[in-house]
Amino acid sequence: MDQIRYLAQIPKCINALCNVGGLEVRVAATQTVSLHPHFASTDSIWYQNWSNLSVVSLHQPSVDSGVLSEEIFKMSEDHNYRDKSFTLRDGIKVPAIGLGTYRVNNYDIVYETMNNALARGYRLFDTAAIYGNEEHLGRALRELLPQHNLQREDVFITTKLAPSVNNKSVRRAFNRSLTNLGLDYLDMYLINFPGYAKQNPKGALNKKRREETWLAIVKLYDEGKVNAVGVSNFTLKHLRELTDVMAIGPMVNQIEYHPYYVDTELMQYCLQNNILVQAYNSFGGLSLRNNDLMEDPVVKKIANKHEVTNSQVLLAWALQRGVAVIPKSVTPEHMEENIMINLKLTERQMLSLDALAVKNKKYSWDPIHIA
Is residue 131 annotated as a catalytic residue, yes or no?
yes
Average pLDDT of 152-159? 99
Judge whether 98 and 124 are in contact, CB under 8 Å: yes
Long-range residue pairs from 208-211, CB within 8 A, at least 24 positions apart, any chain: 209/166, 209/167, 210/238, 210/241, 210/242, 211/241, 211/242, 211/245, 211/246
Domain boundaries, the chain: 18-73, 85-369
pLDDT band at 120 (very low <50, low <70, confident <90, very high): very high
Phi, psi of 255, deg, nearest 5: -140, 165
Q: What is the CATH number of domain 85-369?
A: 3.20.20.100
pLDDT score of 265 more than 60: yes
Q: What is the pLDDT of residue 196?
A: 82
User: Pick the residue with more confidence: 316 or 48?
Assistant: 316
**Catalytic residue chosen out of the listed positions 122, 131, 261, 280:** 131
pLDDT score of 24 more than 60: no
pLDDT band at 89 (very low <50, low <70, confident <90, very high): very high
Average pLDDT of 66-77? 38
